[in-house]
Amino acid sequence: MGLLSLITGRPGASGFGSASTAEQVTDGVDASNLTVVITGGPSGIGLETSRVFALRGAHVIIAARNTEAASEAKKSITEANQTARVDVLKLDLSSLKSVRAFAEQFNSMNLPLNILINNAGVMFCPFQLSEDGVEMQFATNHLGHFLLTNLLLDNMKATAESTGIEGRIVNLSSIAHEHTYPKVIQFDQLNDKKTYGFLVVLWNCRRS
């Protein structure tokens, strides 16, 4: 999809474009046999994704740092759709300890996992280090999701094998990934406050 199509919403080969809604894209889809984990589900794209998956019958797990906001999102979804299946689990992607705790809790629930949507992210935040000593944006947007995906992968594989339904992992990104340093990720300068700025923000948006 070109920039003009992106701006105008002109449909692409699939028949959908940037102006298409989630309800339009999923019209006629029965997701009642699917379990979906969505990071950053309390607001924005994550909230709409949670709402529409629940509308189509999926069991939605909202993984969020702010569980109060996530509970409000669950309330709004279930009030509009009384048959919705939505659960909230604590997940702070900037903390590897929290990621491991989330994965352990989810796996202990003995739920299948068909779809993992890595949606949550931070941007333009002041320079700071995570509790693991990593620049916050890189820790949250990349390391947290990388570890989460790996810790849930066996569950997803087992689900696909037992149900015959191929799993899906969706990583949300930004067009900003096209504007990075010539040498791409500079791993030796991840925590260099002197070089932290707008270009670094763009670099952090690069696709994992």
Q: Tell me how far apart the alpha carbons of residues 185 and 25 are, in angstroms, rounded to a whole number.
A: 34
37: β partners: 61, 116
Of 193, 109, 197, the closest CA to residue 155 belongs to: 109
Q: Write the single-letter amino acid at 174.
A: S
Which residues are known to be catalytic?
196
Q: Write the single-letter amino acid at 70.
A: A
- Please give, one letter per residue, the 3-state secondary structure of 67-84: HHHHHHHHHHHHHHCCCC
At 114, list the tokens: 């068909």
